[in-house]
Chain A
Amino acid sequence: MTISAPEATTTKLENTGALGYKKHTDGGWGLVPIQTRSERFASTDVTDFPAVTGREAAWKLTPVDRVADLIDGELDGSEYDITATEAAGVSIEWVERTDARIGSAGKPEDRAAANAWTQTEKALAITIDGEEAKTVRVSRATLGAAPRAAHVVIEAKPFSRGLIILHNTGDARLTENVEIVVGDSANITVVTVQQWNDDAVHLASHFTTVGRDAKIKHVVVTLGGSVVRINPSTHLVGTGADVDALGLYFADSGQHLEQQVYVDHDAPQTRSRVNYKGALQGAGARTVWIGDVLIRQSATGTDSYEQNRNLVLTDGTRADSIPNLEIETGDIAGAGHASATGRFDDEQLFYLQARGIREEEARRLVVRGFLTDIVQQIGDTELQEKLQDAIEQELSRTRLTDGN
């Protein structure tokens, strides 16, 4: 006598609906939203992107009506005026859009970036070579109020060192892509400072690839402008690649300052630190920080930490802070995130006031101290002093009202 296994049922309960079982519907939308950051659609052609509704993940916290012309409209993609300091080992030139470096660090993931890519005629190429430390300042002050596209490529040759400061002032309606290629064992700092006029609109996507044992410190400082959205993404492609992604923003009444930061750990032993700090004051001041960190299966032994802190100085402001961490391997050294948005710490104010310091000045000391932490890490005394002054000016603009 043989004993046979019970016949396998070909009908699953969820298909028959028996006992109340039914198939999961995924929300009944007929499609599953993208589950991992790395699968987000990317293209250099604006026509590949559907019209922006403002409900997309990349746009849902942005005032799209204020930037519609940059997402869809015609853009001036020609050369513009820059002023740049000279330094040995640094070359700055305008190159054709067919230059081999263009597209080497990344591709647009949103329509505004693709629109810039499609309409750019010439790109600004900055090449850093040589192992001695050097600083180069590139200023844009006369972009004007007409919609414009731009493309910047920064290439740090293997073993090179340098500090590149991109300083933005004046009027602007700008959408641009910035590519940064950090060669093996290079060690560079890229600082982008936005001190635009009050009406300026600026959308930027930064794409960085970091090679073997290379290191980049990437700093975004945004103080001026109406809508400024800078989205830096860093791809750690070489073993031992390292990024410090720092940010500092100060939003006044009516300003929308946004940054979507993405770190893609693709190689083993890579390290990332993301630290963005913001202050908000005045009715309608708005900031957005989205921090995505992806640790791929290939990225064993990685060490990552991201944090965002916001200090709310007055009523009527809004700060969004959204950290996302995706980990595809169990073999990591560390991964963490932190986010905090709050008003003044009453105990800090009490301590300072108990030493005779007037309330208004005590509040200033606390805010200055809060933001200084980022400024101190830039590594250029001249810029650091300028930014300290700019923060002082921001603080003197509005009376810091009582948090209660």
Chain B
Amino acid sequence: MAVLEIRDLHVSVETDQGTKPILRGVDLTINKGETHAIMGPNGSGKSTLAYTIAGHPKYTVDSGSITLDGEDVLAMTVDERARAGLFLAMQYPVEIPGVTVTNFLRTAKTAIDGEAPAIRSWIKDVKSSMKDLRMDAAFAERNVNEGFSGGEKKRHEILQLELLKPTFAVLDETDSGLDVDALKIVSEGVNRAKENTHLGVLLITHYTRILRYIRPDFVHVFVNGRIAEQGGPELADRLENEGYDRFLTDEATV
């Protein structure tokens, strides 16, 4: 059984004002097939955790470890992590001018699998996934993220999730900026991926809204760079009613 383990992770970022510590000792274990929601107020370090797992060069790991089935993830390059089975659905995916979605998807699939996909079944897979995500066929010929609306960008991220079939996916605020219809479509995509590949999901969100459509097995509350409380789905319901104030006051008195 595949497992992603994060142990006592400390991460900082360089700013104009000097080095700023963001993660202050994160411990988290995600087994394949499980869905973990990470919830927390703005600035608590949720996105930093997501980008650190993916290996963004902006973040420096000061101590601690991330392992995937015992393999040291922190020693891997960004692309090695992806090929090892990690996937990050980004909150603000960038435009790649002149590179079409079709070309990009095929290149990524080839890189992940180590060989080019069989052309017929690949085209069929892409078409049916796009249809499921209510994406127009013309979408495939557009340049990656160029002129995409917020909702189109998120659908395109989930399209990749479905096609690249990672073992673990980190979804960074995939719900932000989506209207309820788009949120349902995107959530259905994640649930399809869970059903088809039994991947582990780390769902990062500020609001409980997406948890109505993607049911978490575990909920972790992230405050000031570490996990302040954890529990089952009922914790999300409590946060829905109470907000994060309770944790913020606790933190202030420490």
Residues of A that sit less than 8 Å from B by CB: 345-348, 350-359, 361-362, 365-366, 368-373, 376
Q: A345-B94, A348-B96, A369-B98 are in contact. List 14 more A-B contacts (CB 8 A).
A: A346-B57, A347-B94, A351-B94, A353-B79, A354-B54, A354-B90, A355-B104, A355-B108, A356-B112, A357-B108, A366-B99, A368-B98, A369-B99, A376-B98
Given contacts A350-B56, A350-B78, A365-B107, contact A356 B83 (CB under 8 A): yes
Given contacts A361-B107, A369-B143, contact A353 B78 (CB under 8 A): yes
CB distance from A388 to the nearest CB of B (A): 11
Contact of A348 among B77, B94, B112 (CB under 8 A): B94
CB distance from A275 to the nearest CB of B (A): 12
Chain B: which residue is nearest A371 at the CB level?
B98
Q: Kindly state the interface size class of chain B when it binds its partner.
A: 20 to 34
* Complex Cα spacing A372 to B103, Å: 13
| A346: chain B residues within 8 A (beta carbon) | 57
Contact of B78 among A348, A354, A371 (CB under 8 A): A354
Whether A359 pairs with B83 at a CB distance below 8 angstroms is no
CB distance from B97 to the nearest CB of A (A): 5
* Complex Cα spacing A359 to B57, Å: 13
| B90: chain A residues within 8 A (beta carbon) | 351, 354
B160 within 8 A of A: yes
| B104: chain A residues within 8 A (beta carbon) | 352, 355, 365
Chain B: which residue is nearest A357 at the CB level?
B111
Q: Which of B56, B90, B99 is packed against the most chain A CB atoms within 10 Å? A: B99
Given contacts A350-B57, A355-B111, A355-B160, contact A373 B93 (CB under 8 A): no
Q: List 23 A-B contacts (CB under 8 A).
A: A346-B57, A348-B96, A350-B56, A351-B94, A352-B104, A353-B78, A353-B79, A353-B82, A354-B87, A354-B88, A355-B82, A355-B108, A355-B111, A355-B160, A355-B164, A357-B108, A359-B78, A365-B96, A365-B99, A365-B107, A366-B96, A369-B97, A371-B98
Given contacts A350-B56, A351-B90, A369-B143, contact A356 B96 (CB under 8 A): no
Residues of B5-58 whose CB lies within 8 A of A: 54-57
Whether A358 pairs with B94 at a CB distance below 8 angstroms is no
* Complex Cα spacing A371 to B70, Å: 42
* Complex Cα spacing A317 to B54, Å: 32
